[in-house]
Amino acid sequence: MFGALRDNVFLLKLFALCVFFGYLLLVVSTCFLFLLVRFFIFRIF
């Protein structure tokens, strides 16, 4: 029972890490895209 519980906790932590890194990547890419678009708009005008 304890072995299965430990495996579940490990999977839960792994899932939480994946979600966290995915969210972080999304935020960083969104900021980067926003800055890139703003840079190109300023270059045009």
Cα→Cα distances 9→1, 16, 38, 39, Å: 12, 10, 43, 45
Over range 22-36, report the average pLDDT: 96
pLDDT of residue 44: 76
Task: Give the span between the Cα atoms of 25 and 29, in whole angstroms.
Answer: 6
Question: The whole model's pTM is what?
Answer: 0.61
Q: How many domains does the chain have?
A: 1
The parent domain of residue 30 ranges over 1-45
Distance CA(1)–CA(10), nearest Å, equals: 14
